[in-house]
Structure 1
Amino acid sequence: MTQAPRGAADTAAPTDSPVTARPLPALAWAVAALIVAVVLALTFPAWRYSVSYAWSLSANYLLTWGPLVVALAFTAAFWRRFLAFRPTDIYLGIMVGVVARAVGIIVQYLISGRMPGGNLILGGVSGIYIFTAVIAPVVLAPLIEEPFFRGLLQGSLDRVIGPWPALIATSVVFTLVHTIAEGWSVTLIVTLLVYALLAGYVTQQTKRLAPAIIGHAAFNGLAALISWPW
């Protein structure tokens, strides 16, 4: 009996069940969640200063990630097929995060003439700062955003418009959503787009989310390390 090549198991598409083979309902959930999240993000600045900082912070993450989590919960049968793991995913993810962050540093230096540096924190590093600078971006964001963007959105678009258009469309949407949430700058747009393209590519090639999740954690972790008030 002829054996499959050794690397075939790592790159072959997951076997589809009748549920996971339905991309249109999954895509509909993804689009609806994005619309709700963007609308909430656009209306949030109008009332953010009318509540305490702690409530404002909680509301910011809830409004941004809440619709995505709901969509993931209702489409788990579609995107969970990307949850396999290989040891090489660690290396791939770290490379994605490091390369994308390096591009961001270079772009910032070319535009502003300055390298990124630490933040000035009056009164010391608080628990809220640790949450916003480390826990939320390094732990929570990869676990929520990668299953949504690379698993649900890119995975469903892949079945509808093809792998490369899906990769590009998802990367652009990822960049636009984060620009709306975090503010516009050339450095931010270029850095996010490079990261999204790399994360989308490794997901497309491996059919696994682990490299993108690790890459997202490395990407944001380096930003936290650079901006940490040493």
Structure 2
Amino acid sequence: MPHDLPLATPPPVPVAAPVRAPGLVEAILTILAYFALQVGFGVGFKLGTDLLARWFPDAMPDAPDRIILVVMATVALSTWLVVHGVLRRWGPLARSGDALGLGFREPDGQFIAIGAGLGIAAAILGGLLTQWLAGDRAVSQTVTEIADKAHLGMRMALVPVAVLVGPLVEEVLFRGALLARLRVRLGDGWAIAISSVIFGAVHLPDLGWLWYAVPNLILVGVFCGWLRVRSGSIWPAYVAHAANNGLAVMAWFSATAAG
């Protein structure tokens, strides 16, 4: 009889392969690529603006103002390329708050407040630490030395780049890609410590190789790494980083006005 025929078995449902995050080597190479992009774009934009100033001297701003334009364009373009690439490469893990994820998820409001407080605390404590280590020696960054000679409007235009754009790409790289891989290999404590030391060390060229300015940045890295691990989100660390930079910018403007 027809109804006695065996039922056809349904086709097997394919099982999706688990999402794999990039490895530690790729995370480190991504950080190196970001700084290489900064060098490449910086040199290219600098040469371009110098040529335009030579061809159209009356239409181009003075050299210090042009340098700020170069810095702004370099950081903005490098940030977009790196953040876009990292988010695409991590795929679904970008929104994960787990150890392998980048943490692009909404955090609890309390961690945003904690992040703001830790960012301000890092700026104050780090500044005191730097002063103690430096003694009578001056501490400054290459960008601020150049910007001191620029017009006020150009210095104001640099503020969003220093406070909002720079912290974004650095958090994605150090508290996102690098910290994620180190957490899996070494655990949270060592991952925060090592990523913080690397974060401080890579700023040495911009600090004129003044080692006594690095512990300040390591402290920022520790606070941001702790926030990323405890909150499961990258945004509290970003808020802390932005608050720290914002306070530093306020101090820079105050020193410039006093001078």
TM norm structure 1: 0.74
Q: Deviations over 1:86-111 (max 9, x none)?
A: 11122211222122111232134322
Measured after TM superposition, the shift of residue 178 of structure 1 is 2.4
* Residue 86 (structure 1) aligned with residue 101 (structure 2): no
How many angstroms does 1:200 deviate by? 0.5
Equivalent of 1:72 in 87, 103, 106:
87
Single out whichever of 27-36 and 134-143 deviates more from structure 2.
Answer: 27-36
Shift of 1:125: 0.8
Q: How does 1:1-230 map to 2 (within 5 A)?
A: 18-19=18-19, 22-23=20-21, 25=22, 27-41=24-38, 49-52=46-49, 53=66, 56-58=70-72, 60-61=74-75, 64-65=78-79, 68-69=82-83, 70-81=85-96, 82=103, 83-110=105-132, 111-113=134-136, 121=148, 124-126=151-153, 128-132=154-158, 134-228=159-253, 229-230=256-257
d(CA) in 1 for partners of 2:135, 2:187:
38
Between the aligned partners of 1:171 and 1:77, the Cα distance in structure 2 is: 26
**Structure 1 stretches of at least 4 aligned residues deviating more than 6 Å after TM superposition:** 43-48, 114-120
Distance 1:88 1:137 in 2: 25
Larger radius of gyration: 2
Displacement of 1:181 in angstroms is 4.2
Task: Report deviation, 1:182.
Answer: 4.6
For 2:55, the equivalent position in structure 1 comes to: none
Unmatched tracts of structure 1, length 5 or more: 1-16
Question: Gaps (5+ residues) in structure 2?
Answer: 1-16, 50-65, 97-102
- For residue 75 of structure 1, what is the amino acid of its counterpart? W
Taking a change above 3 Å as real, the CA distance of residues 123 and 204 of structure 1, as seen in their structure-2 partners, is: closer
Name the TM-score, length of structure 2 as normaliser.
0.67
CA distance in 2, matches of 1:185, 1:198: 22
Computed over aligned residues only, the root mean square deviation of the Cα atoms, in angstroms, reads 3.2
Instruction: From the superposition, tell whether residues 184 and 65 of structure 1 become closer, same or farther in structure 2 (CA, over 3 Å).
Output: farther
Cα–Cα, structure 1 residues 195 and 203, in superposed 2: closer, same or farther, change >3 Å?
Answer: same
